[in-house]
Structure 1
Amino acid sequence: MRTRLAMTVAALVAMVTVFVPSASAADSSSAARTGHCPERVNVTVFRDGGPPLLDWRENLEFDGRGMLWVSHSVRNRVEGYTSDGKLAATFPVSGPGGIRRGPDGMMYVNFGVSPLATTGGVMRFDPAAARPQAEKVVTGTPGINGLAIDDNGNFYLSRELATGVLKVRPDGTRDEEWTRKANVFGTNGLEIVGDQLYASVITSTRSPVVRIPLDDPAGHTTVAVLSGGLLDAKLLDDLAYFNGDLMVTSFRHGELVRVAPGTGRACVLASGLRMPTSVRVARGFGEYRADRDLFVTEASGRIVRVAVG
């Protein structure tokens, strides 16, 4: 998501309330009651940012081999950081968005993430290469943002201004039937947990998090509703699974919201962030631990560590 897209989304939220799937574990009574979580949280800056919006870092992922990879929307590049905060690698990607590690150990990143892009898709790079270079593996998918990859190598692409999470097979062909059944409008962040795909919805004033069964996408349901309407719409961005719960970024309110996927109960884990865009669990990254450390990118350009407990 980039500056113009954020403005477009904000305008949409101001004008309409879009489709939200029917609730199961949560309903509107759970909205706008997200008090602070009881855990002790320590927020520190891993890397400083530059001018807000002009230094927009959109997404991040750990490769499990000691590197953190970050998509930089404005500079049109992917950056690689070591655990001591050093920028160790960069290479060009036009309009990079969601970035994830695949089951093959390769890294994948969306490109063409812009409301004005005429094309888009997914690129692949080897995180172990001395000088990583990205190659296209999926093309012809404009209007995408978030990315998830299942154990079989299928790609799931969120679309903030369209209906249906887009599923693309490893050979690059689209699973049109699956996409048609996963008819949720305005998805942003994506995270696979077991056989379920979780998605945040950015364009709804109710700020829902939805669950889409991978083997039955038509059975999608709402896990939680995090706001009651326009005045407190959170503009949900990316999300991650951490210690049994979902961690969801609120771009508008600068929050990291914890959601229990089984009950829909939610609380604010961290606040005071600066337009957070993505959150991931630290894996194979120096002294940082997967059961304690979350990393967040921001439209401010910062990369922030959130230590829990």
Structure 2
Amino acid sequence: MGISGSAAARRAGAIVGALGALVSSIAVGATATADARPACPAVSVTVAKPAPSPTGWAENLTYDSVGSAADGPGVTAGNLWVSRTFGNVVERFDESGRRTASVPVTAPGAVRQGPDGLLYVASGDTTANMFPGTPLTGQVLRMDPTAAVPRAEVFASGLGMPNGMAFDAAGRLYVADGNLGVVRIDRAGRIDEPWSRMSPKNLAPSATVNGTSTNGIVVVGNDLYVTLTTSLTGRVLRVPIDDPAATTVAADVTAPAPGLLDDLAALDARTLVVALTTGQIATIDLPTRRVCVAGVGQPVTAIVQRPGMPNRLLAGTEGGAILDVTLRR
């Protein structure tokens, strides 16, 4: 989730006000079925990396890697990258936890390694960029994660509040933009306008999109799963890549109460893990919509799976600490 000012202002300010005005009459979506539901995992949490400062807000995180997914089990974990939105930097840490680079980026959001091996960073992830009519100054930058001194260059422009990002198997980039909605960008850095016009939009509520500000996004097979920052039910959307107009409800994480969701990750082809800024993480079993919520003690911003460790996660927090989360399923 992007930030502008204090965390309290971010949660209780214009986003919530806009939501109340726009979706007060929207019906709550369907809930999970009770058949064939897996048991909820046990969750344990430790602090992997303390907050560097009171304003160290860890907005997003990812790993780069040696090799590619096509190389199979020989792929090894590389560096951990953390976006510090208040600090306007993206940091690189080696496997020993030593910081090896700090790259200036204005209000960084998601960090993701692309199919070309470069690291992509959302820039402009601040609520000042959220509202329609504001200048579209958001960008996606990219850089060489292996460089001794990485330098970010512009890959795509014309975005509003770029927050979450994900690549599909064809190398196209999808951006969860808190202003524009879900946006697709081709491999040349051009916005795919026809596709993006059909995708879920910000401040355009419906029976499916019962909230505002698309936030996290992940690709699972031929679908996108997208969180809404604020919604009546803590909603996660399923957006078919081949037909974004056919968006449906994947899960309601906090129903029947409203929810404050941030980024998400896919553990496997059927399991999502969602960050809640109210201090929990949620696992979702996609076939059954089974939702399990566990407290972790701090508002969570983003989640990444540790390479080669299916049930080990790192989680970013609003306070700036990085949490080590273990799921026992």
1:248 and 2:274 aligned = yes
- Equivalent position of 2:302 in the other structure: 278
Corresponding position of 1:134: 152
Offset at 1:2? 1.1
- Which residue of the partner structure matches residue 183 of structure 2? 166
- Structure 2: how far apart are the matches of 1:37 and 1:108? 36
Between the two proteins, the alignment pairs up a number of residues equal to 290
Q: Which has the higher contact order (CA 8 A, sep 6+)?
A: 1
Task: Describe the SS at the equivalent of 2:197.
Answer: helix
Q: Partner of 2:81 in structure 1?
A: 69
Identity %: 32
SS at match of 1:140: strand
**Matched residue type, 2:300:** P
Asked if the contact 2:45–2:296 (Cα under 8 Å) also holds between the matched residues in 1, the reply is: no
Inter-partner Cα distance in structure 1 for 2:40 and 2:168: 33
Q: Is the 8 A contact 1:12 1:203 kept in 2?
A: no
- In the TM superposition, residue 16 of structure 1 has moved relative to its aligned partner by 4.4
Deviation of 1:189 after TM superposition, in Å, equals: 0.3
- CA 1:18 to 1:79, structure 2 compared with 1: closer, same or farther past 3 Å? farther
1:15-35 deviation digits (Å, cap 9, x = unpaired): 543798995xxx0x449xxxx
Partner Cα distance (2:18, 2:79) in 1: 37
Following the alignment from structure 1 to structure 2, what is the Cα–Cα distance between the partners of residues 228 and 207? Answer: 7
Point out where structure 1 has 5 or more consecutive residues left out of the alignment: 284-288
Runs of 4+ aligned structure 1 residues displaced above 3 Å come to: 3-8, 10-16, 18-23
**Mapped partners of 1:38, 1:152: distance in 2:** 34
Q: Note if contact 1:249-1:256 (Cα within 8 Å) is conserved in structure 2.
A: yes
Residue of structure 1 in register with 2:73 after alignment: none
Query: Is the 8 Å Cα contact of residues 79 and 94 (structure 2) preserved in structure 1?
Result: yes
Shift of 1:167: 1.1
Q: Which amino acid aligns with 2:236?
A: V
Deviations 1:194-232 (A, max 9, x none): 111110111212111111111111111101112335xx3
The alignment status of 1:43 with 2:49, answered yes or no, reads: no
**RMSD value, Cα:** 2.4
Structure 1-normalised TM-score?
Answer: 0.86
Return the structure number with greater strand share: 2
Letter in 2 for 1:180: R
- The answer on whether the counterparts of 2:231 and 2:259 sit within 8 Å (CA) in structure 1 is no
* 2:228 counterpart of 1:201: yes
Equivalent-residue separation in structure 1 for 2:24 and 2:122 (angstroms):
25
Of 95, 101, 115, which aligns to 1:83? 95
Determine helix, strand or coil for the equivalent of 1:179: helix
3-state DSSP of counterpart to 2:45:
strand
Segments of structure 2 that go 5 or more residues without pairing to the other structure are 67-77, 130-134, 203-212
